[in-house]
Every structure is written in structure tokens, then in C-alpha cells.
Amino acid sequence: MSRPRPEPVHLVKQRRDAALAALVGGVPYIAMMGISFDRRGDELTAVLNYDDKLIGNPLLPALHGGATASFLETAAIVELSFQLLWDEIENGRLDADSLTPETLPRLPKTIDFTVDYLRSGLPRDAYARARVNRSGRRYASVHVEAWQDNRDRLFAQATGHFLMPARPG
């Protein structure tokens, strides 16, 4: 029994990073918010890079609830989209190297999104990870958790439902 030689690691990383960059790079609102993504294998961590414009209560000061909501929704939709892309890329149906924001397949659309504010957001970076709890042909349910200094002390969490893009076949 012989199996094909594993791909060189730098090619694998390059392909996955190219897909993530095409997904994130084309969205003006993600750039405006200053959100970036760290990738470890298929695990994404969204990072909200602190900026004074994200403040909602200058007296405390605290992050704006709308900035937190935007951050969580972005983390959820990028996680869900990246999972969809991942399958297409790893099985070779999509060529990651030629992916650009213009050639990206259609993305899921938010149906509803519920944010739970657990404590006020401090004026510093925030992190979020999303978990796709159910991903069907038509609908998906995604849960997101966000924290700042301490992973166990969430400052916000959210659940959203998404309409999946129509797939050929």
C-alpha cells in the first residue's frame, strides 16, 4: 500500500491563507472596523483591533454595543463562510490561488442575530471564536463567544441563523 506524498506544508498554508484573505479582504466594513483573523488549521480567531472610534460610552469608557454586535456578526459569518470554502478547497473543487473577492462563491446571509452583553467592553483588543452548531442545506445556526483579557470571562456572546447560498446540483 502506497499513499501519495503529503503536500509541502508551505503550499497547504498558502492555499488556506489565500482563501481567508479573499474572504475577508473584499469586505469594506471588516476593514473599517479593524477586524482581522488568526488561523490555526481550520480554527479562526477574530480580532477586534482597538481604536478610539469603537467607543460608545466615553465616560467609562466602554466599547459601543453596536461595535460589539458588528464584531460578533462578522466573526460568525466569516467562520461559516470559511467552513463552506474549506471543503471546496480541500477537495480541489475550488482553486484557492485564483480566488479573489470577485470570484468568491456567494456567501450565507444573516436571518437573525441575538447578542447577549455580559459585561462592558474595555477599551482594548477583543477576540471572538464562532462555532457552527448546525449547517444544513438551507439554514445554519452559529454561536459566537467574545472575550478580552481572560478567555473564561466572556464580555459578549451571540447566536445567529443564516440562509445558506444556493448550491449547484
Partner 1 sequence: MTQQDKARIARQFIEAIPFSKALQMQLDEMGDGIAVISMPYDDRLVGDPKTGVIHGGAVSALMDTCGGAAVMSHAEAPVGSATIDLRIDYMRPATPGQRITARAECYHMTRSVAFVRAQAFDADETRPVAAATGTFTVEQAKDAEVRP
Contacting positions for partner 1 (CB under 8 A): 26-29, 31-33, 52-58, 62-67, 69-71, 73-74, 101-102, 106-107, 109-117, 120
Amino acid at 108: P
Rank residues 13 and 25 by Cβ distance to partner 1 and give the closer one.
Answer: 25
User: What's the min distance (Å) between Cβ of 167 and partner 1?
Assistant: 17
User: What's the min distance (Å) between Cβ of 117 and partner 1?
Assistant: 5
Is residue 33 classed as helix, strand or coil in its secondary structure?
Answer: helix
Rank residues 85 and 115 by Cβ distance to partner 1 and give the closer one.
Answer: 115
Choose among 68, 85, 70: nearest CA to 135. Answer: 85
Residue 64 has what DSSP assignment? -
Q: What is the rounded end-to-end Cα distance, in angstroms, of the chain?
A: 35
Rank residues 90 and 123 by Cβ distance to partner 1 and give the closer one.
Answer: 123
What is d(CA 154, CA 28) in angstroms, rounded to the nearest whole number?
27
User: What's the min distance (Å) between Cβ of 120 and partner 1?
Assistant: 7
User: What's the min distance (Å) between Cβ of 141 and partner 1?
Assistant: 14
Rank residues 21 and 69 by Cβ distance to partner 1 and give the closer one.
Answer: 69
With the C-alpha atoms ordered 3, 40, 96, 9, is the resulting torsion angle positive or negative? negative
Using alpha carbons, list the distances in angstroms from residue 35 to 21, 73, 132, 168: 12, 11, 20, 31
Rank residues 11 and 31 by Cβ distance to partner 1 and give the closer one.
Answer: 31
User: What's the min distance (Å) between Cβ of 26 and partner 1?
Assistant: 5
